[in-house]
């Protein structure tokens, strides 16, 4: 069994505009700032896992354009091995993010482009890579059939399977049954189980419902409360790590999933791997951006040793 991690997911270029308000139809207004950066849950998670010491392969689709160049540069810097289908008939995905200056509230349009065409064929072309992985990770930003097929291949090959069920969506029970770990936040946990998650006890009930639906272990991320690990034998709230003042929480879930995957790939006990994921997220929120905020293995270990 190899020690490598395979992530299936999407890359999008995040274009973030700050302004006092949104323009009305037909109106042009002046913005206060603009930022362009790499995004997409799968891409962010692959960067987080590689920065945290994992040997990571990322399966996705890109167009042939400047945003694709940005994607490749992002992965090269983090040490992620791209496994990319180039789609000349489409474009690399992009997100329009409007941020209201006074409140920080946002409104987002995502156009996935080539990543919206990730197919079962793309996955099956990389059967060997997925089947020999130590850990396989996916989310729900690419088409569901591709994620489902990849989980089947990973499970058949003996990989540890992680599903980050984001964004929230209905998931077939037979797909959940392929998952060793499912890592929703409060909203996503409610979306799958129908149980509103406001407290840690609610999270336990939702986690138990996930286990009943065939999931091996449920890990529900609870923001500033930390993360609940629940596998039927152990049910433990792992507290968050304070690594300094919070700058931006956008990539925290991706940091957690990437760090968690990297720790599992090294053979770390799952509960300890959750602590490692929480430390990874704790550092990431002290920095702006998503992929650029992911900490190094040395930084995570220093916080854990704290």
Locate the domains of the chain by residue range.
5-10+40-90+118-305
What is the full DSSP assignment across 9-61? ---EEEEEEEESSPPPTT-----SEEEEEEE-HHHHHHHHHHHTT--EEEEEE
Q: What is the pLDDT of residues 197-250, one digit of tens each?
A: 999 999 999 999 999 999 999 999 999 899 999 999 999 999 999 999 998 888
How many other C-beta atoms lie within 10 A of the C-beta of residue 103? Answer: 7
Q: In whole angstroms, what is the distance from residue 264 CA to residue 5 CA?
A: 10
Q: In this structure, what is the dihedral angle of CA atoms 281, 284, 285, 288, given to the nearest 10 degrees?
A: -160
Contact status, residue 68 vs residue 40, Cβ threshold 8 Å: no
Q: In whole angstroms, what is the distance from residue 60 CA to residue 122 CA?
A: 8
Q: Is the pLDDT of residue 43 over 60?
A: yes
Q: What is the pLDDT of residue 149?
A: 98
Q: What is the pLDDT of residue 106?
A: 86
Q: Is the pLDDT of residue 1 over 70?
A: no
Q: What is the mean pLDDT of residues 11-39?
A: 96
- Catalytic pick from 14, 87, 231, 254? 254
> If you average pLDDT over every residue of the chain, what do you get?
96
CATH number of the domain located at residue range(s) 5-10+40-90+118-305 in this protein: 3.40.1190.20
Is the pTM higher than 0.85? Answer: yes
Of 136-140, 145-149, 243-247, minimum mean pLDDT range:
243-247
As given in the structure block, the two tokens for residue 195 are: 């149980």
Q: How far is CA 26 from CA 20, 32, 96, 109, in A?
A: 17, 19, 18, 18
Q: What is the pLDDT of residue 30?
A: 98
As given in the structure block, the two tokens for residue 15 are: 């274009």
Q: Is residue 231 among the annotated active site residues?
A: no
Q: What is the mean pLDDT of residues 43-57?
A: 98
Q: What is the mean pLDDT of residues 114-125?
A: 97
Confidence of residue 129 (pLDDT cuts 50, 70, 90): very high
Place of tokens 């090959």: 157
Q: What is the pLDDT of residues 73-119, one digit of tens each?
A: 999 999 999 999 999 999 999 999 999 989 888 888 999 999 999 99
Q: What is the pLDDT of residue 124?
A: 98
Contact status, residue 300 vs residue 259, Cβ threshold 8 Å: yes
Contact status, residue 199 vs residue 223, Cβ threshold 8 Å: no
Burial of 65 (0-12, 13-18, 19+ CB in 10 A): middle
Contact status, residue 139 vs residue 164, Cβ threshold 8 Å: yes
Partners of 108 in beta bridges: 97
Q: What is the pLDDT of residue 292?
A: 92
Q: What is the pLDDT of residue 2?
A: 65
What is the full DSSP assignment across 214-238? T-SEEEEE-GGG-EEEE-SS-EEEE
Burial of 224 (0-12, 13-18, 19+ CB in 10 A): exposed
């Amino acid at each position: 069994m190899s020690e490598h991690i395979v992530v299936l997911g999407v890359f999008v270029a995040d274009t973030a505009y700050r302004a006092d308000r949104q323009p009305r139809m037909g109106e042009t207004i002046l913005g206060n700032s603009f930022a362009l950066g790499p995004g997409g849950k799968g891409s962010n998670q692959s960067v987080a896992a590689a920065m945290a010491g994992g040997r990571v392969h990322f399966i996705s689709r890109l167009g042939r354009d400047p945003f694709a160049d940005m994607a490749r540069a992002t992965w090269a810097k983090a040490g992620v091995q791209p496994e990319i289908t180039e789609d000349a008939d489409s474009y690399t995905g992009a997100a329009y993010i409007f941020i209201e200056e006074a409140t920080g509230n946002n409104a987002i349009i995502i156009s996935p482009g080539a990543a919206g065409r990730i197919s079962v064929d793309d996955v099956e072309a990389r059967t060997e890579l997925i089947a020999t992985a130590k850990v396989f990770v996916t989310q729900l930003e690419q088409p569901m059939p591709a994620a489902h097929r990849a989980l089947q291949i990973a499970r058949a090959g003996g990989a540890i399977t992680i599903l980050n069920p984001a964004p929230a969506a209905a998931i077939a029970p037979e797909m959940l049954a392929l998952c060793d770990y499912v890592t929703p936040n409060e909203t996503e946990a409610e979306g799958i189980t129908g149980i509103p998650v406001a407290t840690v006890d609610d999270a336990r009930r939702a986690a138990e419902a996930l286990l009943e639906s065939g999931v091996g272990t449920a890990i529900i991320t609870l923001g500033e409360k930390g993360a609940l690990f629940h596998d039927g034998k152990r049910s433990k709230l792992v507290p968050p790590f304070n690594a300094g003042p919070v700058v931006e929480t956008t990539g925290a879930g991706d940091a957690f999933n990437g760090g968690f995957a990297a720790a599992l790939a090294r053979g770390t006990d799952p509960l300890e791997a959750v602590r490692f994921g929480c430390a990874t997220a704790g550092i990431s929120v002290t920095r702006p951006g998503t992929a650029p905020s992911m900490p190094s293995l040395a930084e995570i270990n220093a916080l854990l040793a704290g």
